[in-house]
């Protein structure tokens, strides 16, 4: 946009390089720590014998629950993503294309917005009591239900903006030719919003994988997810810095994976709602 | 022939005789599609919300397997009025949100304009900037708590190289909130950048070219054209970020847990402690309602300020 020439161009590139370095450096530094023995971490040495002990301790040691935590996180994130995609996409189509009483539609959308604004911790007390009441307390099912609820507003709003982009004429033409609404949805609208489905899917998977506040309070030792486990590393009486570092690095794998393979969809998903 | 068949099929529908389950679903498609979401939201947000009101006027104690509810509205309100920590937490949250969001907007805007002005490396920059957004906030917390470490943290180590005495980033009352804000700025500036960058790239290039032909310099183009045109996007970024900033929990939980003293206590952290450390379900519910009201008020003030900004 601006025309940078000569010195200002040089300064521009330098600033940008600095910015990128500041963003990446903490991640590189913690990766470095995860390959150090505890003693090297505490001495802050830059030259050290790299080791995989931290990773093997976290993943294979008999005292470590981390594999269980990873499994729990995978289950919760996968199941909640599938459900939130189905429920959210249907709702988005309904609100963007089908006839609705404006009070119901407006009320519903307003409520999802309000719910998205408040901290999930404000509802954690009632959730805890309700799940206790129905015998789901500290179960993965409860956490899956909460994650579906938490990521529903985002999915609905995102999918609505994709459905709104589908030209109405195509759907009308199909209806004229005798297609039922349900066929229009299934055979025309849904294939056209596939990029939106992928964007919403990857975002809700990552957000569910990352979610901490609800997982902390609604899970027990056996059902704890990865973020809860990392928080536990940090709160032990004697902090195992190396294991904490390696667990943190392991927890970012889905994010890194997405960064390399799904970047287009992530950027689309994060900016789509905002730019409109 | 097929056409006639289809017409007959639709005739059947007009007469209101659904021929199959699918036809039945099709007829009431709006309820079948919104229904599941409606049920979920009613069950898991509206019903708990009603519960919250009910809990807010009670004291709940756990005796073995069952809960005992007693009606104590006055006590809960007195607790709220005398809750010193809540007031501190509210103030800290507001300071945290306002400072971190303003810094993020300034940095994100600068970065977005800078990246749009260069010709190379755009992809690399964008890739690098996505990392913090997608990382688990708790991993970010653990990362920075290692980096802030007093004895062996890399930040103090770096300060040592240039001859500055080590700072107690997370352990001193005067510095702790700023340390948390720094982490938040690191975490969310990329998000502001992404939103603003998408808008900068969408700006009409011919307008800017025309201004340049007319002899406008970089400074004039930046302040007279680009920034005014970006105001709506800045407003959106401001709103999104304020919402998230007011909810902050994960990083603060891991970095300081509100300490030292109450210097980094934020509202969601205080709420967590009341609910699950002090086990005060009843008072916690009242606190939740107070926090919801505070959140709405804060965002409303923010929105008004933003609109005023957008207009002039």
With 90 as the cut, is the pLDDT of residue A82 above it? yes
With 70 as the cut, is the pLDDT of residue B14 above it? no
- Per-residue confidence band for A73, with pLDDT thresholds at 50, 70 and 90: very high
Looking at every residue in chain B, the average pLDDT score rounds to 83
* Annotated domain spans of chain A: 65-273
Question: Are A94 and B34 in contact (CB < 8 Å)?
Answer: yes
Residue A273: the pLDDT is 61
Nearest CA in chain A to B197: A271
pLDDT in tens, A165-211: 888 888 888 888 878 888 888 888 888 888 889 889 988 999 999 99
- Per-residue confidence band for A144, with pLDDT thresholds at 50, 70 and 90: very high
With 80 as the cut, is the pLDDT of residue B258 above it? no
**Whether B48 contacts chain A with CB within 8 A:** yes
CA distances to A123, B27, B58, B270, B274 from B81, rounded to whole Å, are: 21, 54, 16, 15, 15
Total-model pTM: 0.88
Distance CA A115, CA A119 (A): 8
**Whether B118 contacts chain A with CB within 8 A:** yes
With 90 as the cut, is the pLDDT of residue A272 above it? no
Distance from CA of A200 to the nearest CA of B (A): 14
Residue B19: the pLDDT is 66
pLDDT in tens, A113-137: 888 888 888 898 889 888 988 888 8
Nearest residue, CB atoms, A227 vs list B132, B136, B208 = B136
- Secondary structure of B242-259 as H, E, C letters: HHHHHCCCHHHHHHCCCC
**Whether A128 contacts chain B with CB within 8 A:** yes
Residue B82: the pLDDT is 83
ipTM value for the complex? 0.87
Identify which of B195, B271, B285 has the alpha carbon closest to the alpha carbon of residue B240: B195
Q: Dihedral of the CA atoms B154, B156, B160, B165 (nearest 10)?
A: -170
Residue A149: the pLDDT is 93
pLDDT in tens, B260-307: 888 888 988 999 988 888 888 888 888 899 889 988 888 888 888 877
Residues 158-177 of A with CB under 8 A from B: 177
Distance CA A202, CA A255 (A): 10
Using a CB-CB cut-off of 8 Å, the residues of chain B touching A245 are 142-143, 146
Using a CB-CB cut-off of 8 Å, the residues of chain A touching B116 are 1
Question: Are B152 and A108 in contact (CB < 8 Å)?
Answer: no
Q: Express as a percent the part of chain A with pLDDT over 70.
A: 98
**A182: burial class by Cβ within 10 Å (0-12, 13-18, 19+)?**
middle
**Whether A267 contacts chain B with CB within 8 A:** yes
- Per-residue confidence band for B6, with pLDDT thresholds at 50, 70 and 90: low
Helix (H) or strand (E) holding B114: helix B84-117
Question: Are B145 and A234 in contact (CB < 8 Å)?
Answer: yes
**B151: burial class by Cβ within 10 Å (0-12, 13-18, 19+)?**
exposed
Distance from CA of B70 to the nearest CA of A (A): 15
Question: Are B44 and A100 in contact (CB < 8 Å)?
Answer: no
Identify which of A160, A49, A72, A43 has the alpha carbon closest to the alpha carbon of residue A112: A160
Identify which of B110, B264, B56, B115 has the alpha carbon closest to the alpha carbon of residue B176: B264
Q: Express as a percent the part of chain B with pLDDT over 90.
A: 12
Distance from CA of B139 to the nearest CA of A (A): 5
Q: Contact A117/B297 with Cβ under 8 angstroms?
A: no
**Whether A239 contacts chain B with CB within 8 A:** no
Crossing angle of the two packed helices B227-246 and A102-117, in degrees rounded to 10: 70
With 80 as the cut, is the pLDDT of residue A38 above it? no
Residues 213-252 of B with CB under 8 A from A: 218, 221-222, 226, 233, 236-237, 240, 243, 246-247, 249-250
Residue B161: the pLDDT is 85
For the ranges A67-71, B68-72, B260-264, the one whose mean pLDDT is highest? A67-71
Using a CB-CB cut-off of 8 Å, the residues of chain A touching B154 are 29, 44
List B60's β-bridge partners, or say none.
B69
CA distances to A129, B61, B71, B253 from B68, rounded to whole Å, are: 12, 5, 10, 30
Using a CB-CB cut-off of 8 Å, the residues of chain A touching B6 are 177-178
Residue with tokens 């919760």: A76
- Per-residue confidence band for B115, with pLDDT thresholds at 50, 70 and 90: confident
Question: Are A44 and B246 in contact (CB < 8 Å)?
Answer: no
Question: Are B41 and A152 in contact (CB < 8 Å)?
Answer: yes
Residues 54-73 of A with CB under 8 A from B: none
CATH code for A65-273? 1.10.3720.10
What average pLDDT does range A143-148 have in this prediction?
93
Q: Contact A36/A242 with Cβ under 8 angstroms?
A: yes
């Amino acid at each position: 946009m601006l025309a940078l020439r000569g010195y200002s161009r040089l300064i521009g590139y330098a600033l940008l390089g600095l910015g990128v370095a500041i963003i990446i450096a903490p991640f590189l530094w913690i990766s470095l720590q995860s390959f150090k023995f505890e003693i090297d971490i505490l001495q802050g040495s830059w030259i050290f014998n790299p080791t995989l002990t931290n990773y093997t301790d976290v993943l294979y040691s008999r005292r470590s629950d981390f594999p269980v935590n990873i499994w729990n996180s995978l289950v919760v994130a996968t199941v909640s993503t599938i459900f939130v995609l189905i429920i959210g996409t249907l709702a988005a189509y309904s609100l963007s294309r089908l006839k609705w009483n404006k009070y119901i539609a407006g009320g519903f959308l307003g409520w999802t917005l309000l719910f998205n604004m408040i901290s999930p911790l404000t509802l954690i007390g009632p959730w805890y009591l309700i799940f206790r009441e129905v015998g789901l307390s500290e179960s993965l099912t409860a956490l899956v239900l909460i994650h579906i609820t938490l990521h529903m507003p985002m999915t609905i709003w995102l999918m609505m903006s994709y459905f709104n982009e589908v030209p109405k004429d195509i759907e009308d033409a199909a209806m004229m030719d005798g297609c039922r609404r349900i066929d229009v949805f299934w055979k025309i609208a849904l294939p056209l919003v596939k990029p939106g489905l992928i964007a919403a899917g990857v975002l809700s998977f990552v957000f569910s994988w990352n979610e901490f506040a609800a997982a902390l309070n609604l899970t027990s030792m056996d059902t704890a997810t990865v973020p809860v486990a990392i928080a536990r590393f940090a709160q032990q009486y004697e902090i195992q810095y190396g294991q904490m570092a390696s667990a943190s690095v392991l927890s970012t794998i889905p994010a890194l994976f997405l960064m390399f393979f799904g970047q287009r969809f992530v950027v689309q998903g994060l900016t789509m709602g905002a730019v409109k | 022939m097929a056409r006639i068949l289809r017409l007959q099929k639709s005739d059947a529908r007009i007469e209101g005789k659904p021929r199959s389950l699918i036809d039945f679903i099709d007829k009431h498609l709006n309820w079948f599609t919104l229904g599941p979401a409606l049920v979920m939201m009613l069950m898991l947000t509206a019903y708990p919300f009603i519960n919250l009101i009910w809990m807010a006027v009670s004291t709940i104690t756990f005796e073995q397997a069952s809960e005992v509810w007693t009606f104590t509205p006055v006590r809960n309100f007195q607790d709220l009025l005398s809750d010193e920590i809540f007031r501190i937490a509210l103030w800290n949250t507001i300071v945290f949100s306002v400072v971190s969001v303003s810094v993020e907007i300034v940095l994100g805007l600068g970065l977005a304009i800078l990246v749009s002005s260069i010709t190379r490396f755009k992809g690399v920059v964008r890739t690098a900037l996505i990392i913090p957004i997608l990382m688990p906030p708790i991993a970010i917390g653990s990362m920075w708590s290692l980096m802030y470490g007093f004895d062996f943290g890399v930040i103090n180590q770096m300060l040592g190289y240039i001859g500055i005495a080590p700072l107690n980033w997370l352990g001193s009352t005067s510095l702790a909130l700023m340390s948390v804000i720094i982490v938040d700025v690191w975490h969310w500036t990329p998000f502001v950048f992404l939103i603003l960058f998408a808008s900068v790239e969408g700006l009409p290039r011919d307008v800017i070219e025309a201004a340049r032909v007319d002899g406008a310099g970089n400074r004039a183009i930046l302040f007279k054209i680009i920034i005014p045109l970006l105001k709506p996007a800045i407003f959106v970024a401001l709103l999104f970020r304020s919402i998230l900033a007011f909810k902050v929990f994960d990083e603060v939980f891991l970095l300081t847990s509100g300490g030292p003293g109450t210097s980094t206590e934020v509202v969601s952290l205080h709420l967590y402690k009341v609910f699950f450390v002090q086990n005060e379900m009843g008072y916690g519910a009242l606190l939740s309602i107070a926090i919801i009201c505070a959140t709405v008020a804060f965002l409303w003030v923010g929105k008004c300020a933003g609109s005023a900004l957008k207009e002039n």
